[in-house]
Structure 1
């Protein structure tokens, strides 16, 4: 690429570079026109893909929360079973106590285990309510994902159809643009790309018609128009910053 740019600087005059810029602009405008056919489809597809990714993450998180609640439910049920076994053992021990102190101590252990069962059962109710809530969220997210997935599939198919139809022309224009770029030095090309990014319609190079800038339509002074026609240096519009060139069609006339 560097060798190509050096060759361009050595072999082409400034006027030829300016004309190459104008040619490049016309080609890029054709590509812009093709891209306009897509409208908002690329953004819509991207938005739907992002939304689908978010819904997928949400579904995964809810499923993980449900699994955690199920695991806690199993743990609390085991604790209840163990507490009941302990209570059974303590009641058997009560039948063999030797004094009231031992009896009272075992009774306290039984009461403690009963409180543990009561607390665990309370937690089980909370987990059950939590699982119901999570499943409702899951159903909502899955329904939204199915709907968005259907929209995404339709939008993607529409976009792919347009891209397939326009691909040959885009490839042809892209090849033409690369040929035009070979006649433009790197610094000038960078300026052109920067201006294109900063203007709404992508027009970085415009002609002077009826004594006015073809981009912002502000009047261009006569002497400046003479300099533009001579094509000895790059001249930009002092109002909009676009590169100004003489209209080749008018020049031919």
Structure 2
């Protein structure tokens, strides 16, 4: 691993603030996307779930319709049997044979009644499933339209910022590579520990940016001297003087402008 060049304290502060400015711009871009990527993923999952549900419902509907066909075929078979037994009754030789055929006819009629009852139940099931299918289809169409809108919105933002974000990420790595590991780890730890993700801040009106705690004049003088890394005792953030901050901001703004 190549050893990093030894930097002066001022060079370290400049590199840290440059890294902060670049990372803050990346944060801005990601904030522009906000919850959109998650929304899109959630909508995709919903659409996939509804599509699967619709396929299952349609499959179940086909099964019920097939069951009706089977029952109708059964009824035709039962009717054929009745016709056959009725014909046979004409040629019986005694009452026992006639009664036996009569019982078969009665049984076949009962089977027809049962089959018709099942058909009626199946038809009620079909109507119920058709209602659910209609509701699910409507919901799927609504969610699909919403997904298209959100994807279009996300793609629009990505097309505007993806290239810039990628180039900024490269710049972030370039500046990070200039900073010694111990200091870089401190920067990352502070950045991840604060809501606005600002690990390096300048002195503004006697206080660290975004803070109401006044920094003693002597400490401000030490910060402006740029001879050692100073941190805010209240927030732990790394402090730099406003002049250095302004110089680096102009430099980084120019870099970012070229990347867009």
| TM-score under structure 2 length normalisation | 0.73
Q: Please, which runs of 5 or more residues in structure 1 have no aligned partner?
A: none
C-alpha distance in structure 2 between counterparts of 1:64 and 1:89, whole Å: 37
Q: Which residue of 1 aligns with 2:88?
A: 93
1:57 paired to 2:52: yes
Q: Is the 8 A contact 1:213 1:244 kept in 2?
A: no
Q: Which residue of 2 aligns with 1:7?
A: 3
Q: Which residue of 1 aligns with 2:106?
A: 111
Q: Is the 8 A contact 2:202 2:245 kept in 1?
A: no
Please say which of residues 13-22 and 46-55 is displaced more in the overlay: 13-22
Taking structure 1 as reference, are residues 131 and 13 closer, same or farther at Cα in structure 2, changes over 3 Å only? same
Taking structure 1 as reference, are residues 90 and 220 closer, same or farther at Cα in structure 2, changes over 3 Å only? farther
Taking structure 1 as reference, are residues 23 and 251 closer, same or farther at Cα in structure 2, changes over 3 Å only? closer
The CA deviation string for residues 113-160 of structure 1, in whole angstroms up to 9 with x for no partner, is 222211111111121122222222222222232233233223322322
Q: Is the 8 A contact 1:14 1:231 kept in 2?
A: no
SS of structure 2 residue aligned to 1:121: helix
1:249 paired to 2:243: yes
Q: Residue 128 of structure 1 is aligned with which of 112, 123, 128? A: 123
SS of structure 1 residue aligned to 2:238: strand
Deviation, 1:215, is 5.5
Count residues with an aligned counterpart: 244
Q: Which residue of 1 aligns with 2:146?
A: 151
SS of structure 1 residue aligned to 2:46: helix
Q: Is the 8 A contact 2:207 2:213 kept in 1?
A: yes
1:37 paired to 2:37: no
Q: Is the 8 A contact 2:68 2:122 kept in 1?
A: yes
C-alpha distance in structure 1 between counterparts of 2:107 and 2:201, whole Å: 88
Please say which of residues 42-51 and 83-92 is displaced more in the overlay: 42-51
Please say which of residues 60-69 and 194-203 is displaced more in the overlay: 194-203
Taking structure 1 as reference, are residues 202 and 111 closer, same or farther at Cα in structure 2, changes over 3 Å only? farther
Aligned-residue CA RMSD in angstroms? 3.6
Taking structure 1 as reference, are residues 206 and 88 closer, same or farther at Cα in structure 2, changes over 3 Å only? farther
Q: Which residue of 1 aligns with 2:252?
A: none
Q: Please, which runs of 5 or more residues in structure 2 have no aligned partner?
A: 248-260
Taking structure 1 as reference, are residues 194 and 137 closer, same or farther at Cα in structure 2, changes over 3 Å only? farther
Deviation, 1:177, is 0.5
